Structure 1
Amino acid sequence: MTQPMSAPFWKTKTLAEMSPEEWESLCDGCGRCCLVKLEDEDTGKIHFTNLACKLLDRQTCRCSDYANRSARVPDCVRLTPENVSELNWLPDSCAYRRLARGQTLAWWHPLVSGRKASVAEAGISVRGQVRSEEGVGESEYEDHLWKLPRARKPVSS
């Protein structure tokens, strides 16, 4: 007799119950949270730019110095189960934000698709679409406002 398959951890555990490995695996590597963001002082609305943190490897969409990021980029925010629902600048596509809102992971998330490439195929990854913030003054940030692309529909086989 075969054992019934257990549900994936992100469907059975809260963010606070996840192991460090499970928590880290929720990051899909899109790079969106590493973009420079501007907040409208009047409305509080967050606007993304096409400028990435100087530590973002723009080809892999991973931090080039993850272990030391807080020391090298003092305003880098470490995501925790306690702060995820409070961070209004996390993109709607973010797995941490989705799970905190009671949603499930998107079809393109590597834990669902089984493939890291699905993030780029869905149009979620910023790979090849952004530049480094280095050399761009804060007074120029508004010149780099960028609308995040929406995820493409999955390709039917």
Structure 2
Amino acid sequence: MDKLNKPEWEALCDGCGKCCVNKLEDEDTGVVVMTRVACRLLDDESCLCSNYPNRHQFVPECIVLTPKTIQETMYWLPQTCAYRLIYEGRPLYDWHPLITGDPESVHRAGVSVKGMTVPEFEVDEDDWEDHVIEEPT
């Protein structure tokens, strides 16, 4: 993974949008669950960041995933995430855009959060628990 250049690293992202939805972690068990409450910059139609190059100006806590940080962030990465799969030595799914050559294949496979999210500014943080969802796989 650390031999990939920046464009190759970025190409691993399948565009599912799952990393851009807020998660909740149980303090006692460490279990992380996904909510449909999305980062304010997530475009619900494309499942991509609407301002990726400048995202840290608007969302300072946005995590930068790199080969060096993947191990410490692995616990919240989606099960279908290419970064996670490659790190774990597993192959990409056949719907991954690098395999299909089509960025829409992730949506057609039903593994993205397309059309499922609500913006975080519409939901009070105390109510995120009401928006827990199963990861689309």
TM-score by length of 1: 0.84
What is the identity percentage for the equivalent residue pairs of Structure 1 and Structure 2? Answer: 49
Distance of 1:144 and 1:19 partners within structure 2: 37
**In the alignment, does 2:10 pair up with 1:24?**
yes
Equivalent in the alignment of 1:127:
114
**In the alignment, does 2:92 pair up with 1:105?**
yes
**Deviation sequence 1:50-72 (CA, Å, 0-9, x none):** 11100001111111111111121
- Say if 1:85 and 1:101, in contact at 8 Å, map to a contact too: no
> Aligned to 2:22, what secondary structure does the other structure show?
strand
For the aligned residue pairs, the C-alpha RMSD in angstroms reads 0.9
Letter paired with 2:133: W
Letter paired with 2:69: N
Which one of the candidate residues 24, 27, 48 is aligned to 1:41?
27
Give structure 1 regions of 4+ aligned residues with deviation exceeding 2 angstroms: none
Which one of the candidate residues 28, 39, 43 is aligned to 1:57?
43
Higher relative contact order (CA 8 A, sep 6+): 2
The structural deviation recorded for 1:135 is 2.4
Distance of 1:146 and 1:84 partners within structure 2: 24
**Deviation sequence 1:25-59 (CA, Å, 0-9, x none):** 11110000000100000100001001110000111
Tell me how many residue pairs correspond in the alignment. 136
**In the alignment, does 2:54 pair up with 1:68?**
yes
**In the alignment, does 2:135 pair up with 1:148?**
yes
- Structure 1: unaligned runs, 5 residues or longer: 1-14, 151-157
Letter paired with 2:22: V
> Aligned to 2:99, what secondary structure does the other structure show?
helix
